[in-house]
Structure 1
Amino acid sequence: MHNDALKTLAVDALEELKAKDIVQLDVSRLTSVTDLMIIASGTSTRHVSALAQRVVERAKEQGRQPLGVEGDAEADWVLVDLGGVIVHVMVPETRQLYDLERLWADLPSDLERENELSGV
């Protein structure tokens, strides 16, 4: 499944269960781990867990087994790894604390790091 299809699948699943403040970050220039991160908030740990589970269910329905799901036991931050797309679902307090949007926006790209190391 192509990354655009994964992105659509994840966002649709999150919207279906009324996720809050869905943000998509293109991190393809910043890391080789994934191309896109989707960050969303749930209103409670139960809501966060349900949102992440819906993403997993929709992926499996499309024949895409998630590479991993982390944090479901506590459910204040659940990560669903779909390969080219990673979905972070958090309660608002956790999202504010870790501020992934700012963290990823402030990271230099691989090219910028290479230039710094080579003295360019």
Structure 2
Amino acid sequence: MTSTAQVIKTRLPNPPPSVDALLESVKDAVAELKANDVVEIDVRGRTSVCDYMVIASGTSTRHVKAIADEVVRFAKKLDCQPLGVEGEREAEWVLVDLGDVVVHVMLPRVREFYALERLWTVGDEPPAGQELETDADERR
């Protein structure tokens, strides 16, 4: 009696893109639609939610939504499906959660009000005109 073995080929899912590749893709997407005042913040060690936040401004609600849509489109090219997209309807502040990178696209007035850059960079550097204390200064 002879038997034939069937080989079932399964396609393993592609590994997720590296954080660096994802970050570059986000920067390319926001540049493609000419987002304003793009800021990248390294939040590793401050939160377990993500490694980087990218904050950008759009000139209108239509521009904000288009930038966020472009971020999603570029991420999908890397086989990265967003974990969530919030705020698309009002489009004053759209958040795109890509896992290791979270993107905030906002109208300038909304961005100024919430001041995410200040929130996530507190303590990074001394205020303008002040220097960090050195050990010698502390001994005096």
- Bin the TM-score by the shorter chain: 0.7 to 0.9
1:66 is displaced (CA, Å) by 0.5
1:112 equivalent in structure 2: none
| Residue 112 (structure 2) aligns with | 96
In 2, are the aligned partners of 1:24 and 1:36 still within 8 Å (CA)?
A: yes
More contact order relative to length (CA 8 Å, sep ≥ 6)? 1
Unpaired runs of at least 5, structure 2: 1-16, 125-140
Q: Helix, strand or coil for the counterpart of 1:50? A: helix
Q: 1:63 to 1:47 in 2, by over 3 A?
A: same
TM (norm. structure 2) is 0.75
Of all paired residues, the percent bearing the same amino acid is 58
Find the counterpart in structure 2 of residue 54 from structure 1: 70
Gaps of 5+ in 1: 109-120
Task: Give 1:29's match in structure 2, choosing from 45, 53, 69.
Answer: 45
Q: Which whole-Å deviations, capped at 9, do the CAs of 1:11-39 have from their partners, x for residues lacking one?
A: 10000000000000000111000000000
Distance between the aligned counterparts of 1:99 and 1:29, measured in 2? 20
Structure 1 residue 62 displacement after superposition? 1.6
Q: CA deviation at 1:61?
A: 1.7
One-letter amino acid of the structure 1 residue matched with residue 45 of structure 2: R
Normalising by structure 1, report the TM-score: 0.87
Residue 107 of structure 1 and its aligned partner are, at CA, apart by 6.8
- Residue identity matched to 2:63: H
2-structure distance, mates of 1:103, 1:60: 29
